[in-house]
Amino acid sequence: MKKEIKGIIPPLTTPFGENEALDTDNLQANIRKLCEFPLAGFLVLGSNGELVMLSESECTQVLHAARAAIPKDRIMLAGTGCQSTGATIALTQQAARAGADAALVLNPSYYKGQMSKDVLVSHYHRVADASQIPVLIYNMPSNTGLDMTADTILEIASHPNIIGLKDSGGNLAKMGNITGAAGKDFRVLAGSAGFLLPALSIGASGGILALANIAPEQCCAIYDGFFTGKLEDAKAMQQRMIRANALVTRQWGVPALKAAMDMLGFYGGPCRKPLQAISQKEENILKETLQASGILPS
């Protein structure tokens, strides 16, 4: 791995036109605008990128369009988690061919009753064996309904080609256990801006944060404040971001994130159905919250 996985990384949304057609021009425009901020890199085809809504050919288009727009000195992560091991391997290899620096692999979950520790370890190790690029584990219980234990994650992490974890569960005790036991070269990243500062305090190396799509400056300020010893400033900024982060993640999700992007001069646009746009009432609440947090000018 040539680039160290650390810092603030936004999981990019995937732009669509009004007819739900893939819009790679606006994907690249969003990347160029975000490159004005000191972000470490970008994740494409994550949960915020509506990976499950895309065809195989669309995934390929997104990967190549993103790589063309992301500067070589910034990290490009690619979400490649599918429901079968074979499909995950195929998408991971496609990401490598497109120039991704590493793959972020969400665990299979459709047959979650069968996803024992042994099954998950076997899945991840097979993917890592077949991958030309390093692999990061992605634990996101709110979407998968499966919260991988620290023991499972640590066993998965024993593979030499598995270099990190994005954890969106928010269990800081578990994250601290993993950062302490996995070794100094294994990177743990917060999966939500709502607990970025606490995660940094127990050893996380950064965050892959939906909020960084609309508040890159503020997310970077929390990260920089922690590592430069400006803890009171980092704490104040963390507290300011909590409400806005909740609206564009657990509460209203990708439709709210895209609406916020439109408010801030990025291209958000529609989601793919069955996801629906937020209501006018919700949009008003979102706008007021973004203004109160300092993300959107009043």
Which spans in 35-100 are helix H? 56-69, 85-98
Active site includes 166? yes
Residue from 6, 166, 174, 258 carrying the catalytic annotation: 166
Within 8 A by CB and 6+ apart from 216, the residues are: 8, 10, 34, 37, 39
pLDDT of residue 87: 98
Q: Is residue 234 part of a domain?
A: no
Nearest to 210 by CA among 48, 80, 41, 30: 48
Q: For residue 149, what is the domain's CATH number?
A: 3.20.20.70
Which parts of the chain are beta strand (E)?
Answer: 7-9, 41-44, 75-79, 102-106, 135-139, 162-167, 187-190, 206-208
**For residue 2, is pLDDT > 90?**
no
pTM listed for this prediction: 0.96
Distance CA 174, CA 181 (A): 11
Distance CA 87, CA 105 (A): 11
Which sign, positive or negative, has the C-alpha torsion 245, 251, 254, 260?
negative
pLDDT of residue 184: 87
Kind plus residue range of the DSSP H or E element containing 144: helix 141-144
Judge contact between 286 and 247, C-beta under 8 A: yes
How many domains does one find in the chain?
Answer: 1
Distance CA 143, CA 127 (A): 21
pLDDT, tens only, 71-89: 999 999 999 999 999 999 9
Question: Own/partner pairs for 26-31, CB < 8 Å, 24+ apart?
Answer: 26/267, 26/269, 27/62, 27/65, 27/66, 27/69, 28/65, 28/66, 28/68, 28/69, 29/267, 30/213, 30/261, 30/266, 30/267, 31/66, 31/69, 31/70
Q: Is residue 275 part of a domain?
A: no
- Average pLDDT, whole number, for the chain? 97
> What's the rounded mean pLDDT across residues 267-284?
98
pLDDT of residue 71: 97
**For residue 1, is pLDDT > 90?**
no
Q: Which domain holds residue 143?
A: 7-228
Distance CA 190, CA 208 (A): 6
Distances in Å between the alpha carbon of 276 and those of 41, 190, 259, 271?
29, 27, 11, 7
Torsion of CA 91, 94, 100, 104, to 10 degrees: 10
Q: Is residue 61 part of a domain?
A: yes
pLDDT of residue 183: 87
Judge contact between 102 and 77, C-beta under 8 A: yes
Q: Is residue 282 part of a domain?
A: no
Distance CA 37, CA 200 (A): 20
Judge contact between 286 and 256, C-beta under 8 A: yes
Q: Is residue 107 part of a domain?
A: yes
**For residue 10, is pLDDT > 60?**
yes
pLDDT, tens only, 31-51: 999 999 999 999 999 999 999
Distance CA 153, CA 218 (A): 30
Nearest to 169 by CA among 151, 203, 135, 144: 144
* 141: preceding bond cis by omega (within 30 degrees): no
Q: Is residue 267 part of a domain?
A: no
